[in-house]
Amino acid sequence: MIRKGHTELSLKAQYNILGVHRSGIYYQPKPESELNLELMRLMDEHYLHHPHKGAPGMHTWLTRDKGYTVSKNRVERLYYRCMGLQAVMPGRHTSRRHKAHKVYPYLLRNMEVTRPNQVWAMDITYIPMKKGFMYLTAIIDLYSRYIVGWSISNNMDAEWCKEVLQEAIGQYGCPEILNTDQGSQFTSEVFTATVKSSGICLSMDGKGRAIDNVFIERFWRTIKYEKIYLNPPQDGLDLYAQVAEYMDYYNHRRRHSSLDHSIPAEVYSLVEQVA
């Protein structure tokens, strides 16, 4: 897919064509031991079903139930710093809040979503690989469950999130509302200024209420169990290829019971009829 020494296209140009974020061009596996990668892989899967568990709860589960001999400090570092997780009730948030940033109110409570591009939701998740890990961000249209934008990176910065949103807007237009969690990437001026200048209303999950962003959370479980966990990526390029393949399948061929067994692309295309 990506070839060094291409006669017409530079390595950077090839990544731009494929839509890989610039940080992926120079990706190096995270310098974590095999044990740490194994622990993070286990915590990632366990967290999808037990989001109320913080680092102490994960440490208890790893040592008492899984039989690992690891310190609390190790689990805390992996859980908070590497994976960007925090325990919440009753759901989960992927990223951590920056206390100096403004938080926007949650706008979706009791709202009926009746059309495409009415509400988008955006989030970030940790993705384990055989040697290292990266992060995946995605934007989902709540009405159709169609993924309007996604990207892979080896860090979770606000500039990355801004670029992904801008690309989605460029391809599909602006939603009326964008919902995120209270992570520092989404509360940063870099990101919020882009949202507001596009005429989009910014909505944020209530603190400790990941169920406010439940559709993107469900998507994380879906892609991990149906793709990533079944065939752990070898490296960043393999991860990109797998995610690209799955996104195409999810958007254009996978039927959803919540959509009366329709395909997201079919439901999302209604926006063209309305426009």
pLDDT tens digit sequence for 18-72: 555 554 544 455 578 999 999 999 999 999 888 888 999 999 999 999 999 999 9
- Same domain for 76 and 124: no
- Same domain for 33 and 128: no
- Same domain for 74 and 149: no
Identify the sign of the CA torsion 150, 155, 156, 157.
Answer: negative
Q: Could you tell me if 171 and 148 are in contact, meaning their C-beta atoms sit under 8 angstroms apart? A: yes
pLDDT at residue 137, as a whole number: 96
pLDDT at residue 92, as a whole number: 40
Tell which residue, 165, 160, 181, 161, has the closest CA to residue 85. Answer: 181
Domain termination site, one of 82, 106, 137? 82
- Same domain for 151 and 56: no
Q: Is 185 a domain residue?
A: yes
Identify any residues that bridge with 203 across adjacent strands, giving them in sequence order.
179
- Same domain for 186 and 62: no
Residues 164 and 132: their CA atoms lie apart, in Å, by: 23
Q: Is 93 a domain residue?
A: no
- Same domain for 164 and 238: yes
pLDDT at residue 52, as a whole number: 81
Using CB atoms within 10 Å of the CB of residue 105, give its burial: 0 to 12 exposed, 13 to 18 middle, 19+ buried.
Answer: exposed
Residues 95 and 97: their CA atoms lie apart, in Å, by: 7
Domain termination site, one of 82, 109, 140? 82
pLDDT at residue 13, as a whole number: 58
Q: Is 1 a domain residue?
A: no
Residues 197 and 72: their CA atoms lie apart, in Å, by: 44
CATH number at residue 240: 3.30.420.10
- Same domain for 69 and 166: no
Q: 199 in the Ramachandran plot: left (φ > 0), alpha (ψ -120 to 50) or beta?
A: left
- Same domain for 206 and 125: yes
Q: Is 61 a domain residue?
A: yes
| Residues with pLDDT less than 70, the chain | 1-30, 88-101, 206-212, 270-275
Report the first-to-last Cα separation within the chain, whole angstroms.
36
- Same domain for 56 and 188: no
Residues 238 and 132: their CA atoms lie apart, in Å, by: 12
**Range(s) of the domain holding residue 187:** 119-274
- Same domain for 128 and 72: no
- Same domain for 211 and 152: yes
Q: Is 265 a domain residue?
A: yes
Q: Is 54 a domain residue?
A: yes
Q: Is 244 a domain residue?
A: yes
What is the tally of structural domains in the chain? 2
Q: Is 173 a domain residue?
A: yes
CA distances to 250, 261, 265, 271 from 254, in Å: 5, 9, 10, 19
Residues 128 and 232: their CA atoms lie apart, in Å, by: 7
Domain termination site, one of 82, 102, 127? 82
pLDDT at residue 113, as a whole number: 94
- Same domain for 144 and 249: yes
Tell which residue, 47, 27, 20, 242, has the closest CA to residue 126. Answer: 47
